[in-house]
Amino acid sequence: MRPFSFNTSAELFPAAIRKKKRAGFTYRRFGTAAEAVRFAMEELPTDSLNGAYLQVEEARFDQSGIRTLYESEAFPLPRRPRAAEAAPTDKDAA
């Protein structure tokens, strides 16, 4: 396997969210693969991450591959907690 460079530009193709009325995240291009991986793992809604893939040069990574890159010791960016997804509360029902 060819060595992976987190400094290479990358494209993220999230899966469409069919159950929600609001538009999901769409295609995004990143200056570095590290930024794309961090965005996918920390910012992308879970339902968009399922079925998403990351394209870096000729290599393609699915959800599992993206997670492996994020958890790699070679990952160059600081890891942050995943962004909280809005969940309905009792107050919303009132």
pLDDT tens digits for range 74-94: 999 998 877 665 554 555 444
pLDDT digits (tens, 9 = 90+) for 17-64: 566 555 556 889 999 999 999 999 998 888 788 889 999 999 999 999
Burial 45-78 (b: 16+ CB within 10 A, else e): bebbbeebbbbbeeeebebeebeebbeeeebeee
> What is this structure's pTM?
0.77
The better pLDDT of the pair 5, 81 is held by: 5
Domain limits, the chain: 10-77
User: Which amino acid would we find at residue 8?
Assistant: T
pLDDT at residue 94, rounded to an integer: 47
pLDDT band at residue 4 using 50, 70 and 90 as cut-offs: confident
CA atoms of 47 and 42, how far apart (whole Å): 13
CA atoms within 13 A on the CB side of 24: 20
